Chains A and B, each alone.
Chain A
Amino acid sequence: MFCTKLHNLNVAVVQAVRKYATPSRFYKKSSILKSDGKFEITLDQRKLKTPKGSLFLVDSEPLALAVATEWNSQKGKIVQSKMHITTLCNTVLDNPNNLTKLDIVNYIVNCLDTDTVLYQANEDEDLMKFQITEWDPVIEWFNKRFNVKLKKSVQMDVSPVSEEDKTTLIRHLMSYNFASVNGFLYGVDTLKSVILTLAAIDRFLTPEKAVLLSRLEEEYQCGRWGRVEWAHDLNQQDLQSRLAAVVLFVYFNSQSMKVQEKNKP
């Protein structure tokens, strides 16, 4: 009898097909509202809320417009995992991990120890050449821009970043606001490189180029072994949209909206 019960249970488990909740689009049009100098998103007459249930508010108009465009571009189903700008805003508003700005900055600076562009593979001569011509100028720019002395390495056992340099970078990152620092974190996790993220946000590299440099070895191997659309192209486009979202997010959160005109007629 016990056996039949167990058997029934197994059948039930197999038959219960997991249905992921992807809500269908329930609104016609998404737009923005200005209230108290901040911007809200509307879905028809409803106001957009964060996953924790608080009101979705952003400081900058273009950012709000970008979020509204994301919601407008959902067809049929609402796929929130592909709405990177909305996701970033939600993370900042809800702060689900209860992180402080200093926590995030420390995490980012510690990622510098394992930065992709600082570790160059020397097994393959052609790849080494690519790394030198593509990555070295970025490292050089980074050292000049932030006044640090990072050195690349071809071995695994060297810690290339001194405490002094880390302090310099902590000071630089702490000058941004909480939202922007969250953007940096997302960018570092996307590219696996602090140097490339800062280069993209500082407008030294375009998002496309930064993603290319981050995937340099993959791209090199693709050139030798062939390219598969559902792996390499998907990965590339996904990373590009993530990084571009970060660049926009940090830009809109850190610029001052005051524009002074020289001589207004």
Chain B
Amino acid sequence: MSKTHTLRGLIQELRYAIPDSGLKDNLAFQYIVEQYRKYNTTDQQLCKAREEMDFIANSYLCYLRSSRLSRQIHDEFHGKGERSVQDTARMVGFKLPHDPK
């Protein structure tokens, strides 16, 4: 995955995570963009490899995306309490004795 691709993914996930307010004055967003600008080239910097930052960015992307998806699946399938006798009967195509035929 290219670096711009990762950045785009991160921004998209941040938008999913924080839908109400715009991202412009969000500190996390500002930090990520700033880091991307800072580590644009490694020639000026010692100690930190470019791949290292890319790996961390991808890990964060994975974190945001997987958290969102697991929550989505959980919300979709999580039980909403016990079914009534009528609902259960309807599921298997039966009717209760007092229901109209």
> Is the CB of A66 closer than 8 A to any CB of chain B?
yes
> Is the CB of B28 closer than 8 A to any CB of chain A?
yes
> Is the CB of B99 closer than 8 A to any CB of chain A?
no
Distance between B89 CB and nearest chain A CB, rounded to angstroms: 22
Q: Which residues of B contact A31 (CB under 8 A)?
A: 27
Q: Which of A207, A233, A237 is B59 in contact with, Cβ under 8 Å?
A: A207
Q: Which of A73, A247, A263 is B17 in contact with, Cβ under 8 Å?
A: A73
| Interface pair A234/B55, CB less than 8 Å apart | no
Contact of A244 with B66 at beta-carbon distance under 8 Å, contacts A62-B31, A72-B17, A206-B59 already known: yes
> Is the CB of B73 closer than 8 A to any CB of chain A?
yes
| Interface pair A262/B47, CB less than 8 Å apart | no
| Interface pair A207/B77, CB less than 8 Å apart | no
| Interface pair B77/A248, CB less than 8 Å apart | no
Q: Mark A68-85, 1 if CB is under 8 A from B, else 0.
A: 110011010001001011
B48 (CB) vs chain A CBs: closest residue: A259
CA distance A261 to B39 in the complex (A): 11
Give the total of B residues in contact with A, Cβ under 8 Å. Answer: 34
CA distance A68 to B55 in the complex (A): 21
Q: Decide if the interface of chain A is mainly helix, strand, loop or mixed.
A: helix
- Greatest chain A CB density within 10 A among B52, B55, B63, B77 is at B63
Give the total of A residues in contact with B, Cβ under 8 Å. Answer: 39
- Greatest chain A CB density within 10 A among B18, B43, B59, B69 is at B59
Distance between B49 CB and nearest chain A CB, rounded to angstroms: 9
> Is the CB of A119 closer than 8 A to any CB of chain B?
no
Q: Which residues of B contact A69 (CB under 8 A)?
A: 14, 17-18, 28
Distance between B80 CB and nearest chain A CB, rounded to angstroms: 13
Distance between A174 CB and nearest chain B CB, rounded to angstroms: 23
Q: Which residues of A contact B31 (CB under 8 A)?
A: 61-62, 65
Contact of A72 with B66 at beta-carbon distance under 8 Å, contacts A206-B55, A229-B73, A237-B73 already known: no
Q: Which residues of A contact B2 (CB under 8 A)?
A: none
Q: Which residues of A contact B7 (CB under 8 A)?
A: none
Q: Which residues of B contact A234 (CB under 8 A)?
A: 70, 73-74, 77
Contact of A72 with B62 at beta-carbon distance under 8 Å, contacts A230-B73, A233-B73, A234-B74 already known: no
CA distance A72 to B48 in the complex (A): 30
| Interface pair B63/A229, CB less than 8 Å apart | no
Distance between A63 CB and nearest chain B CB, rounded to angstroms: 11
CA distance A84 to B69 in the complex (A): 15
Q: Which residues of B contact A97 (CB under 8 A)?
A: none
Q: Mark B25-58, 1 if CB is under 8 A from A, else 0.
A: 0111001000100000001111110011001101
| Interface pair B28/A206, CB less than 8 Å apart | no
> Is the CB of B71 closer than 8 A to any CB of chain A?
yes
Contact of A237 with B18 at beta-carbon distance under 8 Å, contacts A65-B27, A82-B71, A229-B77 already known: no
Distance between A186 CB and nearest chain B CB, rounded to angstroms: 13
Interface residues of A, Cβ cutoff 8 Å to B: 29, 31-32, 61-62, 65-66, 68-69, 72-73, 75, 79, 82, 84-85, 203, 206-208, 229-230, 233-234, 237-238, 240-241, 244-245, 247-248, 251, 259-264
The 9 A-B residue pairs with the shortest CB-CB distance in the complex, in nearest-first order: A73-B17, A244-B63, A241-B66, A237-B70, A240-B66, A230-B77, A241-B67, A244-B62, A65-B28
